[in-house]
A = this chain, B = another copy of it.
Amino acid sequence: MGGSFGTALMVDVTERTAEASQLPGEWYRDYLGGEGIGARLLYDLVDPDEEPLSPLQPLIFTAGPLTGTAAPASGRCVLVFRSPLTGTLGAANAGGHFAPALKRAGYDVLVVSGRSEVPLVLVVDGEGVDFIEVPDIWGKGVVETETLIRSRLEGTGWQIASIGPAGEKGVLFSSIMTDRHRAFGRGGAGALMGSKNLKAIAVRGAEEMPLADPDGLREGARKAREELFNEAFVRDEMKPFGTPSFYDAMSGLGILPTKNWQRDSYPESIGTLGYRAYHETLEVRPYACFGCPIACGRHTTIKSGPWAGMEGGGPEYETVAAFGSKCLVTDLEAVAAANHIANDLGLDVISTGQVIATAMEWVDRSILSEERLQGLPLAFGNGEAVVRLVGMIGRREGLGDLLAQGSLRAARELGPEALDAVMTVKGMEMAADGVRASKGEVLSHVISPRGADHLRPYAPTIDAFGYRENELDITTDAVISFGEDGNKGWVRPLMANAMIPNLLGVCLFTNITLAVRPSTWAELFSCALGRPVDKDELLLAAERVINLERLLNASFGFGRADDRLPDRFLKEPGVDGPGAGQVVDLDAALDSFYEAMGWDLDEGLPTKETLIRLGLDWTL
């Protein structure tokens, strides 16, 4: 019985068992799919008293109802887990082709728990589940790992998610990589997978997608692609130049973190790190995830210098900023090398770059002793030191071992004076999306369930483009008063809108520019599941998930007191660009935000009325 959606494969690597389980059909009504189902499942599976790296903790890979369909950019996979870096909900979101393969194997969700005694590869296809012992692959980088695993599997069509040495060694911001260069990056999922002695997961399948109305879906997909390419930013920037095209704009808007966030723009780097330079300095090929007409991904080869010939996926905008502007490094080849090495080791490039920028500030302020540095010429601007330190972190060598715990734990080890340079929220390193000139981005970083987060909602959308009519209940007044005291009018609908792709299994880039309309997503969802849903129900479900994640974090001990930005933004006025002279009034922003969400001002938790409105009062 039950619908055709919602088959979860529950794998225990301790016992090497696997069982298919039908998730409640109601969940695909209340949480839509993807991250929503993952969060709901975590709510049942997680024991808040268990440590994040306990064998009992699950890794929950989710596909969405649109994953693997004709809907544009439908290759996304959201991994839900409890983050060993932050202790919060972890929700790492990767592109590539892994989730469509999982779905074609017959599963919408893959849950892995337990701890194996020997390194394993979990093999899932339509026929069944297998466990292959791979002690000899343990220690290998991601690219070699994928190659070796493919050589041991029969046939073709395998999609692989694996960890590198960083995940094996428990680096708290290690990633799980898929399709070699796409990352489940944020929150340390690699360490969780490593703690299970699980080196990789290989998936393939040939099942028909269970679509209620394939013709309607194709028609909806055509409409979505049209809406996507009506958006000039997608058409004229993201498609031809990928995410590196953001770099120049972010600097101009004063939201490009520079020199560990002491500055917010870096005009002098545009000539070497800007998107035109990027496409000239590196040999670039576009890369598309499953079903993506944008193909924003870049695959690059370093053409000259000490790392000539090194190749891989990226660097993306975030990586250019992480190893570039944040570290005051203008050498794109060093940035690309650091990127390629980090990916192969299985490190989250965002946290890695940020932790290095923080360490550079510690050097500046003589907080890192010579003994810690052991001769590493770490200093703002030294690209070669960045490249070396990336490797040391991934292998936990010397200073790398200290930094592998993340900035906050490292600072605590160094002493209270180190804390000022730590740019984290809830222990998560901030991505490269500045806050002084984007009061909306303040909220993104502070209120995301997974710690510092530039994507929920991606507020620069409005900073950069202004608000364009997109069926959301946002008034012009609200946009005009955008900022600390005006959150009421825009943040709730914008957050819900930004959550939709994570639920449906499509890429956030389809709607951070507000390109694809909620009503179009509703149409696509309806065609996939055969149940009519309108945009308001879709947005309400997204809001329900946002609130459920807030409740999950509350069970982990997080509340208003943890919704803090680094003091730097509250105390040190901006020195350049549009944010010059500005500091953040965080308490005003939070009050206004909680009020908009229907959360109480003391704890920042959904009120009883809000839970009732969202049908979440069963959690009471």
Contact = CB atoms under 8 A, between A and B. Distances in A.
Interface of A: 1-3, 22, 24-30, 43-48, 212, 529-532, 552, 555, 608, 612, 615, 617-620
Nearest to A28: B618
13 contacts: A1-B45, A1-B46, A1-B48, A2-B43, A3-B619, A25-B618, A25-B619, A26-B615, A29-B617, A530-B620, A531-B617, A531-B620, A532-B617
Nearest to A3: B618
A349 to B, nearest CB: 32
A367 B212 CA distance: 53
Nearest to A532: B612
Contacts of A552: 1
A1 B555 contact: yes
Given A1-B45, A532-B612, 14 more contacts: A1-B552, A3-B618, A3-B619, A24-B44, A25-B618, A26-B26, A26-B30, A26-B618, A29-B617, A29-B618, A530-B620, A531-B612, A531-B620, A532-B617
Contact of A1 (B3, B22, B43, B612): B43
Contacts of A30: 26
A82 to B, nearest CB: 11
B26 A24 contact: yes
Contacts of A2: 43-44, 619
Closest 8 A/B residue pairs (Cβ): A25-B618, A531-B617, A29-B618, A24-B24, A1-B43, A530-B620, A531-B620, A26-B26
A552 B2 CA distance: 10
Residue with the greatest number of chain B CB neighbours at <10 A, chosen from A1, A48, A529: A1
Nearest to A611: B531
A303 to B, nearest CB: 52
Contacts of A529: 620
A610 to B, nearest CB: 13
Contacts of A28: 618
Contacts of A612: 531-532
Nearest to A555: B1
Contacts of A43: 1-2
A620 B3 contact: yes
Copies in the complex: 2
Contacts of A46: 1
A112 to B, nearest CB: 19
A212 B25 CA distance: 28
Contacts of A22: 44
Contacts of A3: 618-620
A12 to B, nearest CB: 13
A532 B3 CA distance: 30
Nearest to A46: B1
Nearest to A608: B532
Contacts of A555: 1
A165 B46 CA distance: 45
Contacts of A44: 1-2, 22, 24
A104 to B, nearest CB: 23
A149 to B, nearest CB: 34
Nearest to A21: B44
A48 B531 CA distance: 23
Contacts of A618: 3, 25-26, 28-29, 531
Nearest to A615: B29
A6 to B, nearest CB: 9
A77 B506 CA distance: 46
Contacts of A532: 608, 612, 617
A212 B619 CA distance: 12
A322 B43 CA distance: 51
A556 to B, nearest CB: 10
A3 B260 CA distance: 44
A529 to B, nearest CB: 8
A403 to B, nearest CB: 33
Contacts of A24: 24, 26-27, 44
A44 B612 CA distance: 26
A43 B2 CA distance: 7
A26 B608 CA distance: 16
A564 B552 CA distance: 50
Contacts of A620: 3, 212, 529-531
A531 B212 CA distance: 36
A52 to B, nearest CB: 15
A48 B1 CA distance: 8
A532 to B, nearest CB: 7
Residue with the greatest number of chain B CB neighbours at <10 A, chosen from A27, A530, A615, A618: A618
A548 to B, nearest CB: 10
Nearest to A2: B44
Contacts of A615: 26, 29
A28 B615 CA distance: 11
